[in-house]
Amino acid sequence: LKAVNHNDNDSKEISDLLSKLEDIYSTTKVCELNNSKKCYPLDRYLLRFMQVETDYDSLL
């Protein structure tokens, strides 16, 4: 965001878009491929999953 024009309309639009992205990211769930009923919050689940998972195919 270093090269952002400081126009009020541009700043408002960027702020709105960032807010929408944050809402999407914070409410998204990740479900297991083999069990769509087992879903987890995106951020915490993925971080932990990538730390402990050793199965290459699962990481894809």
pLDDT digits (tens, 9 = 90+) for 6-54: 677 788 888 999 999 888 888 888 888 888 898 888 777 777 877 888 8
Residue 45's SS3 state is: helix
Question: What ranges do the domains of the chain cover?
Answer: 8-59
Q: What is the DSSP string of 18-42?
A: HHHHHHHHHH-EEE-SS-TT-EEEH
pLDDT score for 6 = 63
- Its pTM stands at 0.47
pLDDT number for residue 20: 92
